[in-house]
Amino acid sequence: MEKIPLSVAIITKNEEENLRGCLQSVAFAAQIVVVDSSSSDATPAIAAEFRCDFYTESWHGFGPQKQIAIDRCSRPWILVLDADERIPPETADVIRKIVTDPGMRPNGFSFPRKNYFADRWIRHAGWWPDRVVRLFRRQAGRMTPAAVHEAVEVDGQIVELSAPIEHYTESNLGRILQKIDKYSTLGAGEAFAAGKRSSSAGAFFRAFFTFLQGYILRLGFLDGPQGLTLAVTDSVNKYFKYAKLSELKRAGRSETRNQSSLRPDA
């Protein structure tokens, strides 16, 4: 397969179930950079099989970690992907035309993302078209520094493409709960650092309205049992994010009281 002047940036952590399919879908790229966070499975071996530029880095949060991968890219165009995402053939053709066109003017491109959960394409509750910016000129784009819910920022014009990226989201409920614990902790930490506060009651009502919005108002029920599961897990994630934010608030008050009790004039 003829390679095109494109670098693909991917971060991994124990992604042996997903990585091979991802790498196969971008085999047309001249460079694939994988930044790994000390995987204990076959992730490094799979990356070596595809002759990726492989680096091991400690974890810095999603935005900074992806920026590390971007910084190691050397081709004129960069495509940022997650290990559980795929570039279908029709989208590969579009990307090939963009990066090989010397007259191409825009600096960035966004894609609609087809999210699959438990073998079903999820079309409601805000899951479609789920547009994301992923393709950009190397000198014009960067990741936001967010620890979670990171995004690509591009200087200059961004064009919306109709060709999709496919995303095969985690469907194992046990691993979903582990991700909820991880993401809600990161989200609560970011919110606390930004000066936001919450309470247990506030966490409950946010979770309730998240379920109501996703499952009823945004027609998540039309996605069948998968839609119900996603509405529940989204609301659980919201609850724990704001419950943990409330916990951080209480911990901050306790620390302040302890510091006050240690003052000489206390």
Cα separation, 67 vs 97, in Å, equals 25
- Rounded to an integer, the average pLDDT of 218-223 is 98
Residues 126 and 240 both lie in one domain: no
**In this model, does residue 173 exceed pLDDT 90?**
yes
What is the C-alpha R_g of the chain?
Answer: 21
Cα separation, 136 vs 140, in Å, equals 7
Closest CA to 230 of 114, 149, 131, 122: 122
Cα separation, 247 vs 265, in Å, equals 29
DSSP sequence for 46-82: HHHHTT-EEEE-----HHHHHHHHHHT--SSEEEEEE
**Residue 96: band (very low, low, confident or very high) from pLDDT cuts 50, 70, 90:** very high
- Rounded to an integer, the average pLDDT of 73-93 is 98
- pLDDT tens across 225-266, in order? 999 999 999 999 999 999 999 999 888 765 555 544 445 555
- Rounded to an integer, the average pLDDT of 51-59 is 97
Residues 19 and 112 both lie in one domain: yes
| pLDDT score, position 252 | 73
Establish if 189 belongs to a structural domain: yes
Domain termination residue (choose one: 143, 168, 193): 168
Q: What is the CATH number of the domain that holds 64?
A: 3.90.550.10
| pLDDT score, position 264 | 54
- Rounded to an integer, the average pLDDT of 30-37 is 98
Establish if 198 belongs to a structural domain: yes
Mean pLDDT for all residues in the chain: 94
The parent domain of residue 64 ranges over 4-168
Q: Coil, helix or strand for 30?
A: strand
